[in-house]
Copies of this chain bind each other. A is one copy, B any other.
């Protein structure tokens, strides 16, 4: 499990200045290394045991540092979790978006994106859990993640309509609906039940999204 380090500022201001209490960003090579170790360890710990059963002591242990070092880089247990959510949110997008863009049109992009997402979930189950659990640990972060995705999804659909690739409709509702589909298919066929080939699932889902249930 790999996580890029970027605690950002959890508080109010932008990350331009050390506005709030103490700035926790590392200033030396050693500090950067330790931060990275802690983030990776936290991702593993929370991924396996969940937020509440996960412990700071165990994170520090996994990272091979003392408990106190954790607090050199994070203000609290919640802070590290939030940093993780932001990071994983970025990772999912970075993995899936290229597959969509590489496709010749939006509809086949949908299919490629679905397959890529499923594959990603299968190889990053911990990550999936962290984003999901953030709904109860850091609701605002969870919300931001899905609102952002829905946003870009909706505008992407509108563009595709402009190119005549899809039918007119409510972009907003459609975006949330398709996100929900993908998330649930990810849970069922990615996390729980990873036997079936991702392409089969993606094909079936694509058929539903493209043509619907109505008899033809």
Chain A to chain B contacts (Cβ below 8 Å), 6 pairs? A129-B136, A157-B213, A169-B207, A178-B208, A208-B209, A210-B212
A171-186 contacts to B, CB under 8 A, are: 173-174, 176-185
Contact of A215 among B52, B129, B166, B205 (CB under 8 A): B166
CA distance A192 to B146 in the complex (A): 12
Say yes or no: A177 contacts B181, CB within 8 Å.
yes
Q: How close is A74's CB to chain B, nearest CB, in angstroms?
A: 19
Contact A204/B52 with A167-B215, A216-B167 known, Cβ cut-off 8 Å: no
Closest 6 CB pairs of A and B: A180-B184, A212-B212, A170-B204, A173-B204, A180-B180, A211-B212
Write the chain B residue with the least CB distance to A166.
B213
Contacts of A164 in B (CB 8 A): 215
**Max chain B C-beta neighbours (<10 A), residue from A181, A183, A204, A209:** A181
Q: Which residues of the other chain, B, contact A146 by a CB distance below 8 angstroms? A: 188
Interface flag for A5 (CB, 8 Å):
no
Is residue A143 contacting chain B, with contact meaning CB distance below 8 A? Answer: yes
Tell me if A's interface is mostly helix, strand, loop or mixed: helix
Interface residues of A, Cβ cutoff 8 Å to B: 50-52, 106-107, 110, 129, 132-133, 135-136, 143, 146, 150, 157, 164-167, 169-170, 173-174, 176-185, 187-189, 192, 201, 204-205, 207-216
Contact for A208 among B50, B169, B184, CB less than 8 A: B169
A214's partner among B133, B180, B187, B210 (CB-CB below 8 A) is B210
The answer to whether B167 and A214 have CB atoms under 8 Å apart is yes
The answer, among B173, B184, B189, for a CB contact under 8 Å with A205, is B173
Q: In the complex, what residue of chain B is closest to A179 when comparing beta carbons?
A: B184
